[in-house]
Amino acid sequence: MSDRETARLPAAQGQAAQDAQAASLRDTSYAFESAEPGLRKGDEEGGAPFLEIRHLHKSYGSFTALRSIHLQIRRGELVCFLGPSGCGKTTLLRAIAGLEAQTSGEIWQDGKNISALPASQRDYGIVFQSYALFPNLTVADNVAYGLVSQRQPKALVAQKVQSLLDTVGLSVSGGKYPAQLSGGQQQRVALARALAMSPGLLLLDEPLSALDATVRVHLRNEIRALQQRLYVTTIMVTHDQEEAMAMADRVVVMNHGVVEQVGTPRDIYQRPATPFVAEFIGKANKLQALAAGNGGITLAGHKLYCPQAPRLAPGQSLHVYLRPEDCSVHDCTAMPPVASAPAPNGSPVLTGVVEQLEFLGAVCIVHVDVQRLPERHVQLQLSPAQCLQLDIQPGRWLQFSIHAQQLKIFAQAA
């Protein structure tokens, strides 16, 4: 979130919480059973999206937080807004919730234009990073708050609250207070409260960022399983790439108030649409190369066949992104090799000196100084077993080849 956005939050925090709470006061029938297999209403190929954002623009004075955002979300999807701090992902979520008024553009939900509706009249439930539970109410009363405020029958409220607590794994915690629960349990209560009024849309504002790593992984799996079972359309804001890749049906990658790419986790990782996505998602070595014509590029003096390369005139400058895992290591020796034969796949072999070995448990990141590359420094990803077998250590000489068809290649901007 940008400094401008952050500066506006304290003044609006109280009203935002009230509006978000009011937004949950709706009475819709919600079945807490497993979703039926197959296509559901609105899922048909080419059907109308459940949520559509049309050319949304948001400015704070001369600062543009969102620029012409156009996005469609299908019913039952879990979509993550992902990007660096200040990219506009939280502003977009707040605009959808009615907690921020857009400067221009429209928001449509389930076939209705909700652009001008206040938060209290929009059909969503929201979970904040800070849980926002009432400390003086029990767990059951927190979950029941919206139902009670709507004067629903006590028996129905009690039944629904218990069903929700069972669903989030807190069956016997209804009589406890928030202070008696762990962070992960409090977030489950916040999730149950958001679902209590059976919202058509569930909004999650970095719900796991305040939790420990182990709890975060466990809870993200629980949230994903619950979302799939209840089939509730969900939007989650996160800065955690692993979280987005593990949970989302599709990821919306944002930067400087614009959408860089929308796609499945596999799409944005393997087929990035822009240099920003290639560099931001996962790890990548950014290298310089030249177009060589006929699907070829020249990298470190070697010509590589890359059918995915843009069709450019020979000699035009390229940005090439190499994933650390898209290499094959052939040898590691104490002395510099006299010569290097082509790799079995026909790719040329590069030679460099190991600078550092970074052990990360399941994988090792090997930092290599390659003199033939203008950038000199590259990172390779190997398993600990490979490092042990090849005796990879700082100061030794490493020979490796690049999987040319896995390179992400873009023309350099003029």
Give the list of residues 6+ apart from residue 303 with CB closer than 8 angstroms, or none: 292, 296, 297
The pLDDT assigned to 28 comes to 36
How does pLDDT run across 89-127, given as a tens digit for each residue?
999 999 999 999 999 999 999 999 999 999 999 999 999
The confidence score (pLDDT) of residue 327 equals 94
In sign, the C-alpha dihedral spanning 316, 317, 319, 322 is positive
Contact call for residues 66 and 58 (beta carbons, < 8 A) = yes
Q: What is the pLDDT of residue 9?
A: 42
The answer to whether residue 31 scores a pLDDT higher than 90 is no
| pLDDT of amino acid 328 | 93
pLDDT digits (tens, 9 = 90+) for 40-52: 444 445 578 999 9
Q: Are 395 and 353 in contact (CB under 8 A)?
A: yes
403 DSSP assignment: -
> In angstroms, rounded to a whole number, what is the distance separating the alpha carbons of residues 249 and 225?
12
Structure tokens at 84: 């660096």
**Residue 300 contacts residue 373 (beta carbons within 8 Å):** yes
- When pLDDT is cut at 50, 70 and 90, the band that residue 340 belongs to is low
- How much of the chain exceeds pLDDT 90, in percent? 71
The predicted pLDDT at position 146 comes to 87
Nearest alpha carbon to residue 377 among 328, 338, 322, 309: 322
Instruction: Report which of residues 340 and 396 the model is more confident about.
Output: 396
Q: Check residue 341 and give its pLDDT.
A: 63
**Rounded CA gap, 379 and 358, in Å?**
10
The average pLDDT across 167-194 equals: 92
Per-range mean pLDDT, top range of 14-18, 24-28, 212-216: 212-216
Average pLDDT over residues 143-156: 88
